[in-house]
Amino acid sequence: MKGIVDLKEVFRYGAFSLPAVNYMLLEENLSKECREILCVLKLAWKGNFKEAVQRIDKVLRSCKSEAAKYFLLANKLAFLKYTGKVDMNLYRYLKRNLPKMSKSIRDTVIVTLINFEASGIKPLRKVRVWKNNYRKSTLSFLYLSLARRKANSGRLSEAAHDYIQAYRLSREIPHPTCIVSSLNDLAWDIKEKHPRLAHVLSQRAIFWLGYYREEPGNLFGALDTLFVMEKDMNSPFIHSTAHIIVSLPVPEDYLSLFKKAKKFVLDYTRSIYPNTSQLRRYIKRVAWKGKSLSSKGISDILKGKTKMIRADTIRRLLTSDVDAWARFPVWNEWIKMEIELKFKELPEKLKEFPFHQRQILFLSTYMAFLDREFLSRKERLKKAYTLLEDIESFADFMAKDHRTMEFVVSMVKAHPFIEGRKEAVKKALERMKRRKLERFTLKYIEMKESDRKLLDRFLRNYGRYYGVRFGIRLKGPDVVREFAKKYHLKIQPLFAAFWCEEDGRVRRRLERILRHMVLYNLIEIAILFVMVEK
């Protein structure tokens, strides 16, 4: 590998090229310059922009390639902006030297400069878009940067056109960062004038975020956008968004969002609440008129004689409309009632799906959930799975807990982030024929929960990289090939999923898990012997 130009496939997919980068970093013939650039990119993809800038400064001291130098400086300009620093001198330097750059590097730098201008910087003269035949990945980000620049100057209609072009092109590549950013930025820009459309776009951005990313990283702002919109709309679904926010690694810039989200996280098991003065004020203002509660009961609550209020009492006091500013006990019970209402509709809907499809819905939902301790015990998980054939029995079993009820609701329609993760893992599950899926599931249930989670991530990544071409042929352990053959899966997406794991110890544990999944049990061995005899 000679230089930065040879990394064009990495630039094409952005952070989505992580497995190819991990694989290349283990190659002995990778030049020191390329190795350093890849390490810088990995830091940025994780959101470690300060550390990435420090590494760029270190690399630049010994960098001999002009192309690599300009590429690193352009990234430094972007990374500094993400940390809240504006380096106008570096911006002017890059802009002045555009004619000296090779075409491939100049295209990348132009996009960075336009994006820099879109953040509110007002130079005397804006960067001119060169009349070149841009690569699709560069063109998608060019449209995104132009859209941001136009939106910043109040030209929303023109900006919307460029956002749509950025989304369309980035979907064809695919380039997840541009896909999510184009939808999220457009949603944010139009939320005042078109709140309903903005909400739909924001949800779609979160779907693709869940589909392509295990952790949001530098795209965490998309969750912030959805949270703000759902709060403004008094949407009951904000509790799901809040739960996802607090369940993921939160970048430092979004710690205030984390604190806000915690207030909306549901307490599924709470059945009694302290009668606080704030709760009494809310009840007096909104929730008690015309409700089936004795005058003495209401009086005791409002005077503070009743020290603790039961959940069913709060439910009887609720009106049909509860806003997001309600006291937590009122909010908590309202959301639980919403879950119950949705759950009642589900048995009939699930009956419409063939049994095999129900199995895939159940398993893909379990493999997509962030928090599933309520169902993870082997006996409980196996019981729920085996009851899928009899929907009434399945519904009775899952109706005992609000968490399991919400799980069933998510089988049909989950939060967009979870729905994206479901769609990714389905790419693997739907390739398994019914008998293969049965064998896979039975072995899967018998595993430790920590091993299940690693296998879940592996199969989600398989779905994410299905159909993606890196320009290099990935290789890996033989057990990955055996797993592909046993469960009728494609080998290259599996190797990509394998190399998504950066820690060698995790990859070795994954090999052990895959070995468990491909080993024949006694029944399968007996069947094979019969087949051989025949």
Cβ atoms 50, 83 nearer than 8 A: yes
- Determine the Cα–Cα distance for residues 368 and 370; give it in Å rounded to an integer: 7
* Amino acid 17: pLDDT: 92
Which DSSP category does 414 fall into? Answer: -
From 119-123, 219-223, 386-390, 463-467, the region with the lowest mean pLDDT:
119-123
The tens digit of pLDDT for each residue in 25-71 reads 988 788 888 899 999 999 988 878 999 999 999 999 988 889 899 99
Residue 274 DSSP SS3: strand
Q: Comparing C-alpha atoms, which of 4, 2, 1 is closest to residue 102?
A: 4
Greatest Cα pair distance, the chain, in angstroms, is: 84
- What pLDDT is stored for residue 132 in this prediction? 58
- Could you give the 3-state DSSP secondary structure of residue 87? coil
pLDDT digits (tens, 9 = 90+) for 228-246: 999 999 888 899 999 999 9
Q: Which CATH fold topology does 150-263 show?
A: 1.25.40
- Residue 527 is predicted with a pLDDT of 46
- pLDDT tops 80 at residue 464: yes
Q: Residue 65: helix, strand or coil by DSSP?
A: coil
Token pair in block for residue 397: 């079993």
Q: Are 205 and 225 in contact (CB under 8 A)?
A: yes
- Stretch 101-130: mean pLDDT, rounded? 73
Average pLDDT of the segment spanning 76-104: 90
Where are the chain's structural domains?
A: 150-263, 272-323
Structure tokens at 94: 């890059």
State the pLDDT at residue 528: 43
CA gap 241, 239 in Å, rounded: 5
If one compares 292 and 202, the residue with the highest pLDDT of the two is: 202
For all residues of the chain together, what is the average pLDDT?
89
Q: Which amino acid is at 288?
A: W
Apex 210 CA angle, 118 and 377, nearest 5: 155
Instruction: List, in sequence order, every residue forming a beta bridge with 272; answer none if it has no partner.
Output: 310
Q: Is the pLDDT of residue 296 over 80?
A: no
- Mean pLDDT, to the nearest integer, of 498-523? 89
What CA–CA distance (Å, rounded) separates 116 from 86?
A: 9
For the chain, give the percent of residues with pLDDT over 70.
90
Phi, psi (rounded to 5 degrees) for 31: -65, 155
Taking residues 125-147, report their average pLDDT: 73
Q: Give yes or no for a contact between 497 and 459, defined as CB atoms under 8 angstroms apart.
A: yes
What are the Cα distances from residue 226, in Å, to 143, 185, 193, 416? 23, 11, 16, 10
Residue 297: is its pLDDT beyond 60? yes
> Residue 281 CA to chain centroid, in angstroms?
39
CA torsion, ordered 135, 137, 142, 145, to nearest 10 deg: -170
**259, 201, 263: which is closest to 226 by C-alpha?**
201
Look at residue 176 and tell me whether its pLDDT is greater than 90: yes
Q: What angle do CA 316, 398, 378 make, to 5 degrees?
A: 140
Retrieve residue 89's tokens: 């001198």
Does residue 519 register a pLDDT over 60? yes
pLDDT number for residue 534:
44
Q: What angle do CA 304, 236, 327 make, to 5 degrees?
A: 15
Q: Which residue has the higher pLDDT, 277 or 107?
A: 277
pLDDT, residue 290, reads 47
d(CA 72, CA 4): 10
At residue 392's C-alpha, the angle toward residues 387 and 394, to 5°, is: 30
Neighbours of 117 (CB within 10 A): 20
Output the pLDDT for position 531.
43
HSE-CB of 208 using CA atoms within 13 angstroms: 22
According to DSSP, the residues that pair with 308 across neighbouring strands are 274
Lowest mean pLDDT segment, chosen from 85-89, 100-104, 183-187: 100-104
- pLDDT for position 521: 57
Residue 389: predicted pLDDT: 94
CA–CA gap between residue 45 and residue 16 (Å, rounded): 9
Sequence-ordered list of residues with C-beta below 8 angstroms from that of 413, at least 6 positions apart, any chain: 419
d(CA 376, CA 382): 9
- Residue 76 has what pLDDT? 95
Poorest-pLDDT segment among 157-161, 276-280, 523-527:
523-527
At residue 401, what are phi and psi to the nearest 5 degrees?
A: -150, 140
Place 188 in a pLDDT band, splitting at 50, 70 and 90.
very high
* pLDDT bracket for residue 251 (50, 70, 90): confident
